A and B are shown apart, each in its own frame.
Chain A
């Protein structure tokens, strides 16, 4: 038996998982219209490579990864792209985003694709393949998986000792990973071996919470059948035990240093659904076109569906048969999910769960009262923070003090809000404080950048002036010399003309038009600076893209 470690804090909200595990995973029928956002991952949105009117095949690339942190987007089925425009998407800001509208032709005609022999390919090639297959973390963070498989920068000799498969699924209601592990255990184990191979990791641990006995049995069986030396580790059910940092702590006893990545301590962690999609990408060459989604809450048929990315949420809700008193929908779990402004938004890679909610199911919180410093939040905090102090300073906008209380170590799990007897929306205060601090830092950077540019410009103008003056002086000198030499040759009549010509040239130089950037309003200057910054960024991106390609050329 492996020694398990503990993290402080954590809560035990009602699980409500059994409702949606009564049926197996079923495939959702093809919707009449798919809306595929170009940003379904952390980082830069993919760049559209198709146009309205194009016919696409299932699995065809429609969005090219753009920049280092980015991933590919594909047509989830065959059909016609009818529009590429801004559409409402599931995002906390409620802002629309660039999407492709795909009208399926119903043929599900695949683009030819084939398996990659991962053992004989080099790891940079495999990473590029995963990137072009759009494989991103399906646990919720949707971070491009290829980046997590890169060798450690600056630590070329540091090994990944432990690869962890995250099957904890600690949020209430969500069961998509549970069902995936029950039904696709062998594929997950094969995928884990592929990732282990790419990382050259030592041991592989599969962490599953003890409230999923069937998934545990299935995974254990799959590991035994595969003959691979992986270990399925049963961890206690506690929220947020499925957060990567907390799961790593439970399984290895190590703490990911504040502000660092798990690779620093030789651990890498992938969600089981991500591993499954990596398997599909490598063993079958299939890009990420669908995911398992839990439809639950106030519905008649809670279940898990295999859904094509881009399927409108309303179609899924209809499949679950939401009860009449449903008045809002949540994407994600009840702890960290967000309420959907509309059910017309498409399902994306991050969408692990759709909860139909009613006021009966999730009664609105009573009005917030002042903090009484009962410190229940500190007791519940899995990061050992003091939420009441962070709240105090966030509320009074003393952001530097909030930062001193380790604001940025907050993982926004919501455990503090859950236990708060005053019903203070603590997480929102912390998100607010974080975004304010980030905005301030960005402003400061922009100002520094502008100042540097301005100073450099002043310096350049001054330098050019001096250079010009130097050149002019040299020229005059040489003219004078040649004049002296030719004085005898050129008649005195022509001398004034030469002199006049020199004068004219001088006058012209002096009255030369000022450059059109010299007399601008500060606003215009700021705009120009913005354009310059964007150009610089594009250049950097191009450079990093080149580096990226070089990188795998080398390997």
Chain B
């Protein structure tokens, strides 16, 4: 059949090059379209849009408990993401409009913004997002070709390069010594200026995971630590509610079949079981499993970060393995590592394993020998 599909691609250039003809319409030599002539009204753009939509409940609760500064970070991240995406597409000679409309850059920006403290100088989120999009995404070939989750690469770069700014978390409402007004928050983010007589320590605090880690190092009993006002019923005061918001959005993603159950279930189960084993072995030093679920980025990771299709395995078995590995690593990094949260590094470490996992979890093909998967 004389069909010409990207006819003269050399092997080396094939990977990214094909998408240069992203606007191609396939026709055979008689000018006819190919089957199937119908398709599901599903687009990458719509999928990514629904992921953004699913983040809304968590964001609303974030604003409720920590004030509107997060909206500023989200806006900054969105603008940087779109700007960097457009610039990189232009530099790489790709059509800008169809790729900007795919919403994938926005998802990266939002996930990064939600992972870092909102009360950080404006350039922190800008640098992180730009790095995510330019280096972690486009230098690897753009949409669909990046081996590492771009948002988590951005996070890793920021926490290694700017550890101080990355730990200035807002105190939840009613817990800080001083509360900043909205304008004062903006002033701090953009100008770095605090109202007179207010120190940074007065408005920020370490995250619940961080606090637990530091205090455990000081040999404080866990009961006493959890009696501190920053801890709520499940995990951190306020942040536990934000996690519940993300859980709600995640359930929506499951119901809308944007993601499959494999990753969140395997991830949360492994995290729960690992935490459970340690907790049962020594309750005075290891927090209950639910604390690990609802603190830090665990819920966000389970439903939004680890489920990134590009950087996670394509096979069901692979997804289970990948998520289980990430769950285990998250716990180990949180409890025994030097960083307070482990989701980002667990994700990146498991990203490395994806090609291998996919290779060894190939399902049995219809009509071929072997066990039915």
For residue A428, CB closer than 8 A to chain B, the reply is yes
Assembled-state Cα–Cα distance A258/B370 (Å): 12
Q: Which residues of A contact B211 (CB under 8 A)?
A: none
Q: Are B5 and A362 in contact (CB under 8 A)?
A: no
Assembled-state Cα–Cα distance A499/B220 (Å): 125
Q: Are B32 and A367 in contact (CB under 8 A)?
A: no
Secondary structure at the B interface, as helix, strand, loop or mixed, is: loop
Q: Are B37 and A374 in contact (CB under 8 A)?
A: no
For residue A158, CB closer than 8 A to chain B, the reply is no
For residue A516, CB closer than 8 A to chain B, the reply is no
Specify the chain A residue showing the minimal Cβ separation from B365: A406
| Stretch of B16-24, B148-156, B166-174 with 4 or more beta carbons under 8 angstroms from chain A | B16-24
Q: Which of B44, B358, B362, B369 has the most CB of A within 10 A?
A: B44
Q: Are B47 and A374 in contact (CB under 8 A)?
A: yes
Q: Please pick, from A378, A417, A428, the residue contacting B315 in the complex, using a CB distance under 8 A.
A: A378
Specify the chain B residue showing the minimal Cβ separation from A415: B36
For residue A382, CB closer than 8 A to chain B, the reply is yes
Q: Which residues of A contact B3 (CB under 8 A)?
A: 428, 431-432, 435
Q: Are B44 and A369 in contact (CB under 8 A)?
A: yes
Assembled-state Cα–Cα distance A332/B35 (Å): 10
Min distance, Cβ A212 to any Cβ of chain B, angstroms: 20
Q: Please pick, from A259, A357, A369, the residue contacting B37 in the complex, using a CB distance under 8 A.
A: A357
* Total number of A residues with any Cβ neighbor in B under 8 Å: 72
Q: Are A373 and B310 in contact (CB under 8 A)?
A: yes
Per-residue 0/1 for A1-36: is the Cβ within 8 Å of any B Cβ (1 yes, 0 no)?
000000110010110000000000000000000000
Q: Which residues of B contact A397 (CB under 8 A)?
A: 9, 11, 14
Q: Please pick, from B42, B143, B367, the residue contacting A409 in the complex, using a CB distance under 8 A.
A: B367
Q: A94-B29, A388-B314 are known contacts. Are A257 and B367 too (CB-CB below 8 A)?
A: yes
Q: Which residues of A contact B142 (CB under 8 A)?
A: 370
Specify the chain A residue showing the minimal Cβ separation from B143: A370
Q: A431-B1, A431-B3 are known contacts. Are A255 and B367 too (CB-CB below 8 A)?
A: yes
Per-residue 0/1 for A242-266: is the Cβ within 8 Å of any B Cβ (1 yes, 0 no)?
0001000100000111111000000
Q: Are A372 and B11 in contact (CB under 8 A)?
A: no
For residue B26, CB closer than 8 A to chain A, the reply is yes
Assembled-state Cα–Cα distance A96/B63 (Å): 68
Q: Are B98 and A369 in contact (CB under 8 A)?
A: yes
Q: Are B30 and A94 in contact (CB under 8 A)?
A: yes
Assembled-state Cα–Cα distance A378/B363 (Å): 10
Min distance, Cβ A500 to any Cβ of chain B, angstroms: 67
For residue A172, CB closer than 8 A to chain B, the reply is yes
Q: Are B314 and A389 in contact (CB under 8 A)?
A: yes
Q: Are B11 and A396 in contact (CB under 8 A)?
A: yes
* Total number of B residues with any Cβ neighbor in A under 8 Å: 56
Min distance, Cβ A32 to any Cβ of chain B, angstroms: 25
Q: A337-B37, A367-B24, A372-B44 are known contacts. Are A384 and B309 too (CB-CB below 8 A)?
A: no
Q: Are B309 and A373 in contact (CB under 8 A)?
A: yes
Min distance, Cβ B326 to any Cβ of chain A, angstroms: 17
Assembled-state Cα–Cα distance A371/B47 (Å): 13
Specify the chain A residue showing the minimal Cβ separation from B40: A419
Q: Please pick, from B5, B18, B30, B98, the residue contacting A432 in the complex, using a CB distance under 8 A.
A: B5
Assembled-state Cα–Cα distance A429/B7 (Å): 12
For residue A385, CB closer than 8 A to chain B, the reply is yes
Q: Are B42 and A419 in contact (CB under 8 A)?
A: yes
Q: Are A418 and B367 in contact (CB under 8 A)?
A: no
Min distance, Cβ B354 to any Cβ of chain A, angstroms: 9
Assembled-state Cα–Cα distance A236/B142 (Å): 41
Q: Are B37 and A258 in contact (CB under 8 A)?
A: no
For residue B46, CB closer than 8 A to chain A, the reply is yes
Q: Are A435 and B1 in contact (CB under 8 A)?
A: yes
For residue A306, CB closer than 8 A to chain B, the reply is no
Q: Are B365 and A258 in contact (CB under 8 A)?
A: yes
For residue A403, CB closer than 8 A to chain B, the reply is no
Q: Are B144 and A255 in contact (CB under 8 A)?
A: no
| Stretch of A285-293, A338-346, A537-545 with 4 or more beta carbons under 8 angstroms from chain B | A338-346
Chain A, 104-120, CB within 8 A of any chain B CB: none
Assembled-state Cα–Cα distance A382/B365 (Å): 9
Min distance, Cβ B110 to any Cβ of chain A, angstroms: 17
Q: Please pick, from B11, B15, B366, the residue contacting A255 in the complex, using a CB distance under 8 A.
A: B366
Q: Which of B11, B25, B35, B364 has the most CB of A within 10 A?
A: B35
For residue B145, CB closer than 8 A to chain A, the reply is yes
Assembled-state Cα–Cα distance A378/B31 (Å): 30
Min distance, Cβ A465 to any Cβ of chain B, angstroms: 47
Q: Are A92 and B28 in contact (CB under 8 A)?
A: yes
For residue A425, CB closer than 8 A to chain B, the reply is yes
Min distance, Cβ B40 to any Cβ of chain A, angstroms: 5
Q: Which residues of B contact A422 (CB under 8 A)?
A: 43-44, 144
Q: Which residues of B contact A8 (CB under 8 A)?
A: 366
Q: Which residues of B contact A87 (CB under 8 A)?
A: none
Q: Which residues of B contact A339 (CB under 8 A)?
A: 32-34, 37
For residue B196, CB closer than 8 A to chain A, the reply is no
Q: Are A373 and B314 in contact (CB under 8 A)?
A: yes
Min distance, Cβ B54 to any Cβ of chain A, angstroms: 15
Min distance, Cβ A5 to any Cβ of chain B, angstroms: 11
Q: Please pick, from A367, A376, A417, A427, the residue contacting B23 in the complex, using a CB distance under 8 A.
A: A367
Per-residue 0/1 for A59-77: is the Cβ within 8 Å of any B Cβ (1 yes, 0 no)?
0000000000000000000
Q: Which residues of B contact A418 (CB under 8 A)?
A: 36, 38-40
Q: Please pick, from A337, A369, A389, A395, the residue contacting B35 in the complex, using a CB distance under 8 A.
A: A337
For residue B284, CB closer than 8 A to chain A, the reply is no
For residue B210, CB closer than 8 A to chain A, the reply is no
Q: Please pick, from A366, A376, A396, the residue contacting B9 in the complex, using a CB distance under 8 A.
A: A396
A-B contact pairs, 12 of them (CB 8 A): A7-B366, A245-B366, A255-B367, A374-B309, A375-B309, A384-B364, A384-B366, A396-B15, A414-B36, A419-B40, A419-B42, A421-B40
9 nearest CB pairs, A to B = A339-B32, A94-B30, A370-B144, A341-B30, A396-B14, A414-B36, A375-B314, A258-B367, A374-B309
15 further contact pairs, Cβ within 8 A, besides A369-B144, A428-B34: A93-B1, A257-B367, A335-B37, A339-B34, A341-B31, A367-B22, A367-B24, A368-B24, A371-B144, A372-B144, A374-B309, A383-B366, A386-B362, A397-B14, A427-B34
